[in-house]
Structure 1
Amino acid sequence: LLVWSLWLFAFVVVAFLLVGQGLEKKREQLFFRRFFGPMIGCAFSLYVHNIRKLR
């Protein structure tokens, strides 16, 4: 479970790095936010939840 949450965290970091690079087209940005926004939110909440469980 810990490895899985670490993978999730790595995915979140990569997603934020991709956002940081900046997508030039507005349409791509909108798609990115709509698609990854909820996913990142869910992944982060699950990650925090798993960390609390492990403690």
Structure 2
Amino acid sequence: MRHDDRIDNFESLWVSTAARPWDPPLIQEGQVRAFCTCRKIRTQVGFPIHCTFLN
């Protein structure tokens, strides 16, 4: 999930202006997909997940 929709795959100039070019964040769609995946996992594992980290 973390490497799915990274900003550097969509905006090629992002790397040249980024403070941390080695750690690209997810774009909005990637964050939504990660959230939905976490929610799906939470319903299937049988114990509560209290926190997820989206970067």
Asked if these proteins are the same fold (TM beyond 0.5), I'd say: no
TM-score, length basis structure 1: 0.40
Structure with higher helix content:
1
- Looking at both structures, which has the greater relative contact order when contacts are Cα pairs under 8 Å and sequence separation is at least 6? 1
TM-score, length basis structure 2: 0.40
Query: Which structure has the greater CA radius of gyration?
Result: 2
